[in-house]
Amino acid sequence: NAGVMQNPRHLVRRRGQEARLRCSPMKGHSHVYWYRQLPEEGLKFMVYLQKENIIDESGMPKERFSAEFPKEGPSILRIQQVVRGDSAAYFCASSNLGPGEAFFGQGTRLTVV
Amino acid sequence: GQQLNQSPQSMFIQEGEDVSMNCTSSSIFNTWLWYKQDPGEGPVLLIALYKAGELTSNGRLTAQFGITRKDSFLNISASIPSDVGIYFCAGLPEEYGNKLVFGAGTILRVKS
């Protein structure tokens, strides 16, 4: 999983601010997945993207959350007007064959104060 | 949605002992994966299983894809201190193949 780069590793935001989480997939990978993890819990699927397309966003809240994977550049998970309940670790995974061969990044730990 | 029941929730074992954990579901899965997550890190893929009945090893780790396609187990033989961490099962449901569904994890603590 060393090739999937997420930044920042830690992000602190005040309530109402915007949080932008970046994910650079492994070289050659065109599938990106975002997951959210609360302490002591497993990972919860949020969204699945291929280059320039959202394939499945059924795990992502309809409001305040959005994701993109542009033709050039990293995938971005954006959370607008953050609330305390958004505090969690957000993980990105990438693959070139679908989720069964996905490799995870080290995550971004978002803290909303 | 699909749920994975992972057990046990935690284990505290003596170094050198064998460890077994499993995941079950009421739904059918096409793929079973086992990950290990160290504190502050992302999950690392340990073993991937793609066919019912498949038994796969990776060093001291062995995992099996259940015949019913609704369960999987992971065994760790001769545990050592660096085995400490959280182990997650994950699966690709037959019904919604895009989304890896994760179990809640098994926390492994090893007495040295």
From the list A44, A45, A21, A28, the residue with the least C-alpha distance to A106 is: A21
Give the C-alpha separation, A31 to A26, whole Å: 10
pLDDT digits (tens, 9 = 90+) for A1-17: 459 999 999 999 999 99
Confidence (pLDDT) at A1: 45
Kindly state whether B51 is in contact with chain A, defined as any CB-CB distance less than 8 angstroms. no
Please give the Cα distance from A93 to A6 (Å, whole number).
Answer: 10
- The distance from CA B23 to its chain's CA centroid, rounded to whole angstroms, is 7
The pLDDT of residue B77 is above 50? yes
Choice among A13-17, A67-71, A106-110, B37-41 with the minimum mean pLDDT: B37-41
pLDDT value at A30 more than 60? yes
Q: What are phi and psi of B43, to 5 degrees?
A: -65, 140
SS3 B5: strand
A20-49: average pLDDT? 92
Q: What per-residue confidence (pLDDT) applies to B2? A: 60
The per-residue pLDDT of chain B, averaged, comes to 91
Structure tokens at B38: 């160290």
- Tell me the pLDDT tens digit for each residue of B42-57: 999 999 999 999 999 9
Chain B CA closest to residue A95? B98
pLDDT at residue A42 in the model: 84
- In this complex, the residue of A1, A42, A104 whose CB is nearest that of residue B103 is A42
pLDDT mean over A101-111 = 92
Chain A, window 47-86: residues with a beta carbon less than 8 angstroms from a chain B beta carbon = 48, 55-56, 58-59
Decide if pLDDT at A71 tops 60: yes
As a dihedral over the C-alpha atoms of residue B61, residue B67, residue B69, residue B71, rounded to 10 degrees, the angle is -50
Task: Among A77-86, B58-67, B73-82, B86-95, name the one with the lowest average pLDDT.
Answer: B86-95
Q: Which residues of A touch B41 (CB under 8 A)?
A: 106-107
